[in-house]
Amino acid sequence: MLCHTVPPFKKFPGNIEKCYEALLASAYIGLLGTLALENKNKDFQIHIVLIDRALTVQLKPTVEFVLTNLHDPAQISQWTRSSIFFMKAEGRNLMMEVDDASFVEKVLVIRAKLVTSDAESVKAVYKTRRLRTIVWQEMKNNEHHLELFPSPADYQRMDPRSPVKLLLEACFGGRPIPRQPIPGPRQSIMMGSVVLTSEQSKYVRALTKTNIPVIVANSSFGVGKTTMIAAALHIAIHESPGNKMHLVMTTTNAAAAAITQSYTRISGSVNVIRMISAENYDHIGPQHRTSFDFPIVWPQEFEKLLRRTDSDDQAPITEIVLDAYAHLRSVRSITLKLARRKDLRNALEAVRKPIRTIFEILVQLINPRGIIGTIPSMTNALRENGDMAQYGSHVATVQMDDASQIPIHSIIALGPLCPKARYALIGDINQPKSYTDTDLAEELRTPAVGDLLGDTSKIPCHLNISTVRGCPFAVTATSSTLFYQNRLTSVRDPKERSQILDHLDFPNSHPIQVINTAKCAAHQTSGTSIFNPSEANIALTITSRVLTKKKKPSIGILTYYKAQAGHVARGLSDTPVFIGTIDESQGQEFDLVIILTSRSKSFGSHVRTSDRNETPIGVVWPDPDYIESPERLNVAITQTRSLCLVLVNTHAAGRSELWSKFFCKIPPGAFHNDPSHLMRHLQKLR
């Protein structure tokens, strides 16, 4: 009964119960495979290591050590960049993340940063220098995803007209969703200094002025979708009944923070919360935190309640006051002697366990109408015994950002938790799809992960958001031609010149410049990844030069390979620059983007296949797919607000159809074909 080649609603027409049984069974088994592969390539040995260095990198406590095994060489494939492990320090088990792993004189050198940010853990890391300790990896505990997964009976109990059921049926061969008009004038919506385009305004009206069950907004790069989502949330909150909630879900904490900050600029009112657990809040960097984060808001509001009650002798000591105190006491030390009212002090001393949940009390205090968070955070909050478990039926709309990266199993799990909610899927069909391990079989990948945004052709409310503001004119034009069939328009001035070009003293004004690394040394392998020291050195030199400006631009160094990201990170130390793979950078924008391709051998798929066949036995060949991914090239070049520098071996890339077409869009004057001359030029500028 499993379905991966024939959509379930086509396979069992007329038997809706069997269709849902097939859909959920297929997705569940696919999810099992996905979760199992998250523990692939783990190292379950306990290693005794000497911490050679303890330093600060990118504002994070960082350690370096050599990893060795007793009986065989350490496997770099088990300690790749972003791998999580634990380190014993000062009696604590500290969670660490690998920043770089590389062989130096045939030994595996690990550089790793502390994941958490509490002061005691930070101190413990710095005290490990020149000490011996143990490090180890653990199985990723991901079984809770299975606990959240619904049964066919959960869907059978839902209304047949439930928007999530209409969405799933339309995507998997079932009934199409009836078309509905979008009312209202064509002019743009204005909210103070925020002016939406006519395309954005149409989306906002579709969400807030209609009952359309599912809306799809195909939003390309740089169109201001963060502002659009925040504006739609603001209007939905103010134009719906007071007991209705409106959710915004994202795939990353960075995106959730950006939407939260955009909303506060538009609204200015405190009626939204960014839902995030205390543990996850501790793990994210300060740049992704907001003053509306749940672990910050609820203690502040509870303390305000206690202070108000204590300052007013006539204020009743309600059960909400007592519950608020009980929750506060569970996370921090509170001195009751500071209470002015004796009756309040006596009542609080008698408190044992709270009756109401934290969120339930918060609803009574500030009535948050908009909730923003990642899909896992929101799903956990809505599930049984979650913070928002009682409020699922109050959810009126769910806006889902970066919908191209959302796996099908996430939608299925969410559906019964907010059964009345209307859905809006916002994303770019020309950007990378949801990540799946290459070892996951196709028959498992399709029903569990699928291509949510690509499967929405039967959803009639399909809006195109194609007016680009964020990227330079020529970047938009290049991407529009290569990836969007010339459908994009730019509001930027075609004659605009990046100030960064002036700082680098590059004569050509084109916002995409190609630095040809054909004369540089060959790339090196690192497990299944590759890195290129010569290319990294050029990127570091450019970054160093640009950061000498008084007004420092934001810089993103985007790599195709994890090993190259780690290699570059070693050279930048504490410099405030984003370094990561293209996939890790999605949803962010930078004034200057530096793209590192790293490969010195042919990009052409057919040539790489022959190279792979000639590779000696025992040598692992790097993954050949990403370098020719149109979606990744599109993401990489369009994350710039001002200038994009592409470091690439044009000879190696020339046999790739994708890269050949890309080079044709760049004027000859924007190519720098002599890296040695370029380096001398940059060094003279200092």
Mean pLDDT of the region 137-145: 88
Mean pLDDT of the region 142-168: 93
Query: Are 311 and 446 in the same domain?
Result: no
Distance CA 426, CA 228 (A): 10
Distance CA 500, CA 552 (A): 10
Rounded to the nearest integer, the mean pLDDT of the chain is: 89
Query: Are 553 and 671 in the same domain?
Result: yes
Is residue 352 one of the residues assigned to a domain? yes
Q: Do 50 and 14 form a contact (C-beta atoms < 8 A)?
A: no
Query: Are 383 and 509 in the same domain?
Result: no
pLDDT score at 103: 82
Q: Which residues contact 307 (CB under 8 A, 6 or more apart)?
A: none
Q: What is the pTM of this model?
A: 0.91
Mean pLDDT of the region 617-634: 67
Distance CA 273, CA 291 (A): 9
CB-side exposure of 287: number of CA atoms within 13 Å? 10
**Count of domains for the chain:** 4
Is residue 284 one of the residues assigned to a domain? no
- The alpha carbon of 391 is separated from its chain's Cα centroid by a whole number of angstroms, namely 26
Is residue 5 one of the residues assigned to a domain? no
Strands 92-104 and 84-89: antiparallel
pLDDT score at 610: 47
Query: Are 402 and 480 in the same domain?
Result: no
Mean pLDDT of the region 547-564: 90
Distance CA 512, CA 639 (A): 12
Distance CA 411, CA 421 (A): 12
Query: Are 129 and 166 in the same domain?
Result: no
Supply the DSSP string of 574-614, one letter for each residue.
Answer: T---EEEETGGGTT--EEEEEEE----S---HHHHHHHHHH
Mean pLDDT of the region 168-172: 92
CATH number of the domain enclosing 579: 3.40.50.300
Give the tens place of pLDDT for each residue, 257-285: 999 999 988 887 668 999 999 989 988 88
Query: Are 323 and 380 in the same domain?
Result: no
Q: Do 444 and 25 form a contact (C-beta atoms < 8 A)?
A: no
pLDDT score at 624: 42
pLDDT score at 614: 47
Is residue 375 one of the residues assigned to a domain? yes
Give the tens place of pLDDT for each residue, 482-520: 999 999 999 999 999 999 999 999 999 999 999 999 999
Instruction: Choose one of 465, 483, 508: the last residue of a domain.
Output: 465
CATH number of the domain enclosing 83: 2.40.30
Give the tens place of pLDDT for each residue, 202-225: 999 999 999 999 999 999 999 999
pLDDT at residue 607 greater than cutoff 50: no
Q: Cα dist. 658→67, 332, 634, 672 in Å?
A: 40, 57, 11, 20
Is residue 40 one of the residues assigned to a domain? no
pLDDT class of 33 with cuts at 50, 70, 90: very high
Mean pLDDT of the region 392-407: 95
Give the tens place of pLDDT for each residue, 628-651: 999 999 999 999 999 999 999 999
pLDDT score at 271: 85
What residue numbers bound the domain in which 679 lies? 472-685
Is residue 414 one of the residues assigned to a domain? yes
Q: The tokens 């400006």 sit on which residue?
A: 549
Query: Are 421 and 440 in the same domain?
Result: yes
Instruction: Choose one of 418, 441, 465: the last residue of a domain.
Output: 465
Distance CA 229, CA 587 (A): 14
CB-side exposure of 637: number of CA atoms within 13 Å? 29
pLDDT at residue 621 greater than cutoff 70: no
Q: Cα dist. 128→49, 53, 64, 94, 109 in Å?
A: 11, 8, 10, 12, 16
Query: Are 639 and 526 in the same domain?
Result: yes
Instruction: Choose one of 465, 500, 533: the last residue of a domain.
Output: 465
Query: Are 528 and 653 in the same domain?
Result: yes
pLDDT at residue 70 greater than cutoff 80: no
pLDDT score at 4: 56
Query: Are 120 and 167 in the same domain?
Result: no
DSSP3 helix / strand / coil % (the chain, rounded to 5): 40, 20, 40
Query: Are 594 and 551 in the same domain?
Result: yes
Phi-psi category of residue 222: left, alpha or beta, with phi > 0 → left and psi -120 to 50 → alpha: left
The percent of residues above 90 in pLDDT, for the chain, comes to 66
Is residue 83 one of the residues assigned to a domain? yes
pLDDT at residue 77 greater than cutoff 90: no
- Helices then strands, each counted (H, E), the chain: 26, 25
pLDDT class of 616 with cuts at 50, 70, 90: very low
Is residue 3 one of the residues assigned to a domain? no
Mean pLDDT of the region 313-326: 94
pLDDT score at 619: 40
Q: The tokens 């979008």 sit on which residue?
A: 182
CB-side exposure of 522: number of CA atoms within 13 Å? 4
Query: Are 313 and 412 in the same domain?
Result: no
